[in-house]
Amino acid sequence: MIGVLAAYERLVASGELKSDPDQRRAAERLGALQKELEAGSGGGLLARLFARRDQPRGVYLWGGVGRGKSMLMDLFVGSLGIAEKRRVHFHEFMLEVDRLLREERAREAGDPIPPVAARLAADVRCLAFDEMVVTNTADAAIMSRLFTTLIRDEGVVVVTTSNRPPRDLYKDGLNRSLFIPFIELIEEELDVVPLNGPVDYRLDRLAGLDTWHTPLGDAATAQVREAFFRLTDFAPEDAEHVPSADLDLGGGRTLHVPKSLKGVAVFSFKRLCGENRGAADYLAIARAYHTVIVVGIPMLGPENRNEALRFTKLVDALYEGNVKLFATAATEPKALYPSGDGAFEFERTVSRLKEMQSADYMARGHGAT
């Protein structure tokens, strides 16, 4: 089995990847970690206990969409020659944590964090996460203690990808002060490696796909479905198992996200604009996701004034956060809301929707100003 750096160099040499200094530096760091982990593997529990004295530092690999984070994680986990490894999407992991905490609390055996950490660490030396992102207060409140126990007491080495640097995790979140110790833990125990070069390689995967699809129907649905699978690397044949999420909107409110994976969210127009929502809800979506897919946008008339206003607020939030928008709609943007209160102002929304389809907009980094 070849190392992660050698595997990366092979892909560059074969022309499958373009040479990228940031990617190479990240591959070098992951390669060094691979050697440390493999050198300390085996030997049973006693060897593992002694290995904690010289426990390798983990890696926090962050960068914008399409910079190669998932590709490098694939190479790292695939080439890591130890049995005690686990890779999991961060959202799925936190759902598992929530379930284990409930089980431990039901036993009324005191602090549930240590036994949950012990169960998670069983037979795991390296825990690899895809897309670390924190969107709700409950996760933010427990992460510091949970990961301190996993890393410092259980000896688990954490490797993770994220679209954001550690200091921007859960930014502007409710009770964020509870989360600061986790950020400090990351900076103390993991090497933070930026992977944020100027090229968005994921855009290549969208070649040939438009962002606005009309009219509504199977053909339009197939196009945004294809975009989702290209952006998330999720197997289309396993579509029924795409994870969902509940986005924390603050004030004890949440928004169910029917499909949520690797910073990509899928919503119906009815869910986003047919219900009573304000700008703050849309800003929360724009902060949490780099790409939003909205399906079922209808023609709007005077009787849909409220829906048109909400759609305007949604587009404003996505535009200002440089969020990529894919949509299925009954018609082109300029014909969506031809008459009714605010139809003249809606022309600004049409202008933004047109710009959001441009190559220049699609190349912008999420959240950049």
Which domains are seen in the chain, by residue range?
Answer: 4-194 (3.40.50.300), 202-362 (no CATH)
Indicate the pLDDT class of residue 249, thresholds 50, 70 and 90. confident
Indicate the pLDDT class of residue 19, thresholds 50, 70 and 90. confident
Mean confidence (pLDDT) of the chain? 87
What is the structure's pLDDT at 294?
97
Q: Is 87 exposed, middle or buried (0-12, 13-18, 19+ CB in 10 A)?
A: middle
Task: With CA atoms as reference, report the closest residue to 3 among 23, 29, 22, 21.
Answer: 29
Bond before 215 cis per omega within 30 degrees: yes
User: Is-contact 68 18, C-beta < 8 A?
Assistant: no
What is the structure's pLDDT at 53?
59
Residue 64 has pLDDT above 80, yes or no: no
Q: What does the buried/exposed string (b/e) look like for 199-222 if buried means 16 or more CB atoms within 10 Å of the residue's CB?
A: bbbbeebbeeeebbbbebeeebee
Residue 33 has pLDDT above 90, yes or no: yes
What is the structure's pLDDT at 308?
95
pTM: 0.62
